[in-house]
Amino acid sequence: MEIVVIGGGYAGLRVVQSLAARNLQVTLIEPRPEHVLRPRLVAAAAQRMALRDVSLPFGRLLPANVRHLRASAIRFDPDTIEVETDQEAIRADRLVLAMGAESNPTIPGVERHGLPLYSLEDLEQVLGSWSRLEEDFKRDRCESESLRWVIVGGGMTGVALAAELVHLARRWRKRYGSLAETIQIHLVQRSERLLPGWSVEVSDWVTRWLIRHRVIVQLNTQVRRARPDLLVLSGPDGATELATQTFFWAGGTRPVRLEEEPEGLRTPEGFMQVDSFCRLIEHPRTYAVGDIIQPFNPRTQQSFAPNTQLAVRAAEAVALNLVAESQGRAPIPFTPSDERVAFSLGAFDGIALVDGQELVGTPGWTAAQAADLLYVNSVQASLLIGRFAPELATLPQALLEAGREDEQS
């Protein structure tokens, strides 16, 4: 069986490596030469991680029996399993769509003036902005607008970025003294609380953590328009203007589309419509995984927002089903759940959900670091691929108890 995978992100790479480990013929269509570790972009944007640690070259990740076609996919036929790229057309027996997601700047002016953080190019733009600002520090000519950093969006990316900027501001205050004391960090969230997908207790803990570290949290506030030196906001106190030359857009993403796609494959929100096996509806030879689908659990009647951990688990399920198909066995449905999700709040704290147990503070950071290291090690030693951080299920009881104590503090 020959299989084509479009996209080399978390889901696409996991499918490719899993299939190659079982000696199936796989072609990866991905124009980039490297696999981007997107959760690390946030730490690198705050200069806490080197640029070289944010990506891994595909040459170190792909087994010899995988063909890496460095091209951009233009269109695909879900029935004939033909993919047209900007270099050549490819036919296969099965197709896996894993194009991922991209920044979704829905506010006028955001695309021109905002800083997204979803690619290496975005990261380089942010680092260039910091480099220019540090030059201004050295010349003692910083303007107040350049020292007000605004993050729009209070989900996981926005919260993690705010925490990382806390550490960056602290380092700069030590380095540049009184000139950097006026740095302000604003986190603007349109809903009534941060991290709306998490429990109220976790949301409140995060809010307190940010406020304690001098972040100005603005809830129930929407950005109406972005201009070169300010944001027009609408909040509880009516319309206001927030002067800034540096604002980050973490207000949402959208599934990536190819230039040409058949009609009727996507939901109104842009997600591919799939069955319980992650196959396109009415097109059983084409699968979709990662951020281009919205996983649904029929038992709980719950839909899940895309995230890295779900993408990896769906990719593993699809790979197993493709192997089953190649051997004439029946596929097994994918049942999504948010049992294991983790992210860091800077260098010392974090948040994690591990088998129903919410961890905050140091235990959450430990879980997030373990998940990151396990993933990086697994993709570099693809024969060791397994479920996302299964070792986290055996965290010592003392760590879980520490998490409970930290939540109460």
Question: What pLDDT, on the 0 to 100 scale, is given for residue 219?
Answer: 97
Mean pLDDT to the nearest integer, 329-334 = 93
Question: What pLDDT, on the 0 to 100 scale, is given for residue 355?
Answer: 83
CA distances from 297 to 14, 78, 275, 284 (A): 22, 24, 11, 19
Q: Are residues 119 and 220 in the same domain?
A: yes
How would residue 198 be classed by pLDDT, with cut points 50, 70 and 90?
A: very high
Q: Are residues 241 and 132 in the same domain?
A: yes
> Above 60 in pLDDT, residue 407?
no
Alpha helices in 64-199 (DSSP H): 110-113, 120-138, 156-176
CA distances from 166 to 204, 211, 212, 214, 317 (A): 18, 10, 10, 8, 38
Phi and psi at 13, nearest 5°, equal: -65, -40
Q: Are residues 246 and 115 in the same domain?
A: yes
Element holding 235 (H helix, E strand): strand 230-235
* Final residue of a structural domain among 308, 337, 366: 337
Within 10 angstroms of residue 238's Cβ, the number of other Cβ atoms is 7
197 vs 89, more confident: 89
214 vs 378, more confident: 214
> Above 60 in pLDDT, residue 231?
yes
Q: Are residues 226 and 276 in the same domain?
A: no
Please check whether residue 316 is in contact with residue 334, taking contact to mean a CB–CB distance below 8 angstroms. Answer: no
> Above 90 in pLDDT, residue 339?
no
* Final residue of a structural domain among 235, 251, 267: 251
Question: What pLDDT, on the 0 to 100 scale, is given for residue 358?
Answer: 93
CA angle 7, 304, 342 (to 5 degrees): 80
Question: What pLDDT, on the 0 to 100 scale, is given for residue 214?
Answer: 95
Q: Are residues 270 and 234 in the same domain?
A: no
Question: What pLDDT, on the 0 to 100 scale, is given for residue 281?
Answer: 95
Number of domains in the chain: 3
CA pair distance 44, 161, nearest whole angstrom: 10
Mean pLDDT to the nearest integer, 162-187 = 93
Mean pLDDT to the nearest integer, 7-33 = 95
Question: What pLDDT, on the 0 to 100 scale, is given for residue 382?
Answer: 61
Please check whether residue 25 is in contact with residue 65, taking contact to mean a CB–CB distance below 8 angstroms. Answer: yes
We report the CATH number of the domain holding residue 325 as 3.50.50.100
Amino acid at 113: H
> Above 70 in pLDDT, residue 23?
yes
Q: What is the pLDDT of residues 360-398, one digit of tens each?
A: 999 999 999 999 998 899 888 764 443 333 333 334 344
Lowest mean pLDDT among 9-18, 238-247, 268-277, 335-344: 335-344
